Structure 1
Amino acid sequence: MSPWLRPRWLVGHVLVGVVAVVFLRLGWWQWQHARQGNTLSYGYALQWPLFAAFGVFFWVKVVRERLSHADVRRQGGRPQAAVPSLGHSWRFERSDPDGAAPARMTPAAVTQTDAQDPQVAAYEDMLRWLNDDPRRHVSDYPGFQDR
């Protein structure tokens, strides 16, 4: 069975199809009014088919994305991020095993490119300083200047 024809997707297909047909019908209705002398209706007659096309386009894009993510998960991998990564990720870690202390975010890995950029390094240093004590504020960071 095609993934596009699974029962959970059929409701969405029908709904998008009905809405697209209604939008096209509204465009035709506006076109008839425009031909009777209502010039403002020409604009609406062009807009309704565009709304229908956008809805169908968006639905196809959503279904394809969901199905591709499901395929990647089925193969045991992680889906690609839509936004390119900055080269590092963050993870939560607890300093004590009992969980009494709050979890802290720490960098999991930093690329060589990030380590060479002094602005990125200074920003990450400030984040580490803030993460060491939850009571600290950005304005308390040494070298912080109000702008």
Structure 2
Amino acid sequence: MRQLSTPGWILRHLAAVALVAGFLALGWWQISRAVAGNTLSWAYAVEWPVFAAFVVFIWIREMRQALHQAVPTDQGPPPVDVPADSGPPADVAPAESAPRPVGAVRIGRPVRVRSVARTPATQPDDPELAAYNHYLAWLNANPHARAGDYPG
């Protein structure tokens, strides 16, 4: 809980309380206008408390996240399990592997995808594709021309 009493968090608490109080006051003001006959104010009377609820939601979420990220100072960083061999990929664990300790992070090899670049010689013979490629080449050669100027 000490993490939430730092000067930065005290400012956040004060800002959240001020925003919630201001949004609820604006909602009450819109209710008084709506009762006086302004029908559009009914929508605003609902909108301002929703804004206040959103501020409370974000405030609680940020506090929980700050408390969850707090690491005790007597422990070091979590252990890292780095595979040294060129066995299975990092996302597939062998069946006979020993269970990893809680908090251990497994770092695997980067994923490599082999792809063959398609050259015009390896592309299938498609007359529509060839016509479209010719059109694109013409547009590239004539950057100031309009699409209707294409001679093909």
Shorter-normalised TM-score: what interval?
Answer: 0.5 to 0.7
Rg larger in structure: 2
Which of the two has greater helix per residue?
Answer: 1
Report the Cα distance in structure 2 between the residues aligned to 1:7 and 1:140, rounded to whole angstroms.
Answer: 57
Q: Secondary structure at the match of 2:37?
A: coil
Q: Tell me which residue corresponds to 2:10.
A: 10
> What corresponds to 1:69 in structure 2?
69
**Paired residues, what number?**
98
SS class of match (1:140): coil
TM-score (structure 1 length as normaliser): 0.53
Q: Which has the higher contact order (CA 8 A, sep 6+)?
A: 2
Q: CA RMSD in A?
A: 3.6
Compute the displacement of 1:45 (Å). Answer: 0.4
CA shift, 1:40, in A, is 1.4
Matches of 1:21 and 1:139, distance apart in 2:
61
Q: Determine if the alignment matches structure 1 residue 109 to structure 2 residue 96.
A: no
Matches within 5 A, 1:127-146: 129=114, 140=117
Is the contact made by 2:33 and 2:41 (CA closer than 8 Å) also made in structure 1? Answer: yes
The answer for unaligned runs of 5 or more in structure 1 is: 79-88, 90-106, 114-123, 130-137
- The structure with the largest strand share of the pair is 1
Structure 1's consecutive aligned runs of 4 or more residues displaced over 6 angstroms after TM superposition are 141-145
Per the alignment, do residues 33 and 15 of structure 1 end up closer, same or farther by CA in structure 2, a change over 3 Å counting? same
Separation in structure 2 between the aligned mates of residue 59 and residue 71 of structure 1, nearest angstrom: 21
Deviation at 1:3? 3.3
- What SS class does the counterpart of residue 71 from structure 1 fall into? coil
